[in-house]
Amino acid sequence: MTDPIRLGIAGLGTVGCGVVKIVQRHAAALALRAGRPVEIAAVSARARNKDRGLRLDAYAWEDDPVALARRSDIDVFVELMGGADGPARAATQAALAAGKDVVTANKALLALHGHTLALAAEENGQAIGFEAAVAGGIPVIKALTESLAANRITRVMGVMNGTCNYILTRMQGAGLPYEEVFREAAALGYLEADPALDVGGIDAGHKLALLAAIAFGTQVDFAAVELEGIERITIDDIRQAADMGFRIKLLGVAQMTGRGLEQRMSPCLVPASSPLGQLEDAMNMVVLEGDAAGQIVLRGAGAGEGPTASAVMADVMDIARGRRGPVFGQPAAALAQARPASSSVPAPYYLRMALLDKPGALARIATVLGEAGISIDRMRQYGHDDPAAPVLIVTHKTRRAALNEAIGAMAGTGVLASEPVAIRIEEV
Tell me the pLDDT tens digit for each residue of 343-372: 788 999 999 999 998 888 999 999 999 999
287/143 Cα distance (integer angstroms): 11
Domain 5-104 coded CATH 3.40.50.720: yes
Contact 305, 18 (CB under 8 A): yes
Residue-level pLDDT at 383: 67
Selected catalytic residue, list 107, 207, 249, 358:
207
CATH class for domain 140-301? alpha beta
List all residues 6 or more positions away from 174 whose beta carbon is below 8 Å from its beta carbon.
181
Distance of CA 235 to the CA centre of its chain: 24
- Asked whether the beta carbons of 10 and 81 are under 8 A apart, the reply is yes
Rounded to whole angstroms, how far apart are CA atoms 176 and 170?
Answer: 7
Q: Can you give the pLDDT at residue 388?
A: 85
* Residue 76, phi-psi category: left (phi > 0), alpha (psi -120 to 50), beta (remainder): beta
Residue 205 · residue 174 · CB < 8 Å: no
Residue 247 near residue 170 (C-beta atoms within 8 A):
no
Q: Provide the CATH topology of domain 349-425.
A: Alpha-Beta Plaits (3.30.70)
pLDDT of res. 385 = 63
Tell me how crowded residue 174 is: count the other CB atoms within 10 A of its CB.
12
Predicted pLDDT of residue 410: 95
* 397 noted as active-site residue: no
Each domain of the chain, given as residue ranges in start order, spans: 5-104, 140-301, 349-425
Q: Rounded CA gap, 391 and 292, in Å?
A: 43
pLDDT at 304: 87
Q: Could you give the CA distance from residue 329 to residue 146 in angstroms, rounded to a whole number?
A: 8
379 by DSSP, 3-state: which?
A: strand
Q: pLDDT under 50 in the chain at which residues?
A: none
Q: How far apart are CA 191 and CA 197, in angstroms?
A: 8
Separation between Cα atoms, residue 99 and residue 43, nearest integer Å = 18
H/E element, 70:
helix 65-70
Put simply, whether the predicted model's pTM sits higher than 0.95 gets the answer no
Contact 209, 225 (CB under 8 A): yes
Consecutive H or E run containing 314: helix 305-320
pLDDT tens for 121-171 read 999 999 999 999 999 899 999 999 999 999 999 999 999 999 999 999 999
Asked if 163 and 201 count as a contact pair (C-beta separation under 8 A), the reply is no
**Cα–Cα distance between 262 and 254 in angstroms, integer?**
5
